[in-house]
Amino acid sequence: MKLKTAVIGAGYMGRFHAEKFGAISELVAVIDADPARATHGTDYTPWLSKIDAACVAVPTEHHFRVVKDCLEAGVHVLVEKPLARTLAEADALLELARTRGLMLQVGHLQRFNPAFAALASQGGRPLFIDIERLAPFKARGTDVDVVLDLMIHDLDLVLALARAPLEDVSACGFSVLTEAIDIANARIEFADGCVASVSASRVSQAPVRKLRVFRHEGYVSADLQGQKLRHVRKGASAGAAGIEESEQAFPRVDELRAQAEAFLASVRGGSAPVVSGEQGRDALALALRIGELVGERLARHRP
């Protein structure tokens, strides 16, 4: 029997979520504050008693209220990133999900990219992680700064790869086309010696997405858009001639559908979600810290 679901928030991402959930579940309702986008009205509360699970894709400022209402009604939730605006809000949602025995999954979509999944499953401690995510300017998403809009995706990936306690964070960033931070760079150091450099911009001319992980004996470059990996390793012989290169391609995966399928599978089977609320909280905590550091630096160097 298919689970009964609803999508709350039918904006840019919500429309795609509705398409995926409509294909793999009994999509009962699509609700949005804008009547022109909603197919089942503007108020989600009457529908909560009629569904098993909800995908929440409203603006970040409304995440806490909507997710809280869903959980209090006994509804499992997949919420778009970031989990909430503040750690206090995130902690309240995590506690509510725990006490009610409900799934709370956070929409960090790149975890469902087969190239990243293969990269994360490889053994060996990362020495250095280099991630760059650049995007042309779009008015959509400017309700939050670039750290919470774009960089948080890669912060989640860094935490998934490093798997070690944080030791130090430094960051810089600048406002370019909005009043918020539009471009930022963070240096993240972990207790085991791993270092990550993460850059994000939403004011670039062309989209760029790069991810490289350096380990002893070689490194891996991930093409997340092409869903493939390029391996460079030290070969058996010495010198440059001993370098071995190879590529690993994966069958194309619809990441958004894979995320929805994994969420519903967790709801049915009771298994831990791929990106738990706790992991979403960790990414949010790091993103908020980076935002604070950038703000402090901008205040010191204000013209």
Give the model's pLDDT for residue 266: 97
CATH code of the domain in which 185 resides: 3.30.360.10
pLDDT at 141 over 70: no
Domain boundary among 102, 134, 151: 102
Confidence of residue 8 (pLDDT cuts 50, 70, 90): very high
Total tally of structural domains belonging to the chain: 2
Residues 187 and 232 in one domain: yes
> What pTM value is reported for the model?
0.93
Look up the CATH number of the domain holding residue 27: 3.40.50.720
Looking at 72, 102, 132, which one is the last position of a domain?
102
Instruction: Give the model confidence (pLDDT) of 104-132 as tens digits.
Output: 999 999 999 999 999 999 878 999 999 99
Asked if 65 and 19 touch (Cβ cutoff 8 Å), the reply is no
Residues 234 and 88 in one domain: no
Q: Domain range for residue 202?
A: 114-252+287-300
Are 59 and 154 contained in the same domain?
no
Which tens digit of pLDDT belongs to each residue from 162-178?
989 999 999 999 999 88
78 lies in the same domain as 181: no
Alpha carbon dihedral 250, 254, 257, 259, in 10-degree steps, equals: 50
Which residues have CB under 8 Å from 234's CB, separation 6+? 217, 218, 242, 243, 244
Q: Are residues 135 and 188 in the same domain?
A: yes
User: For 75, what's the count of Cα atoms within 13 Å in the CB-facing half-sphere?
Assistant: 28
In a domain, 161, yes or no: yes
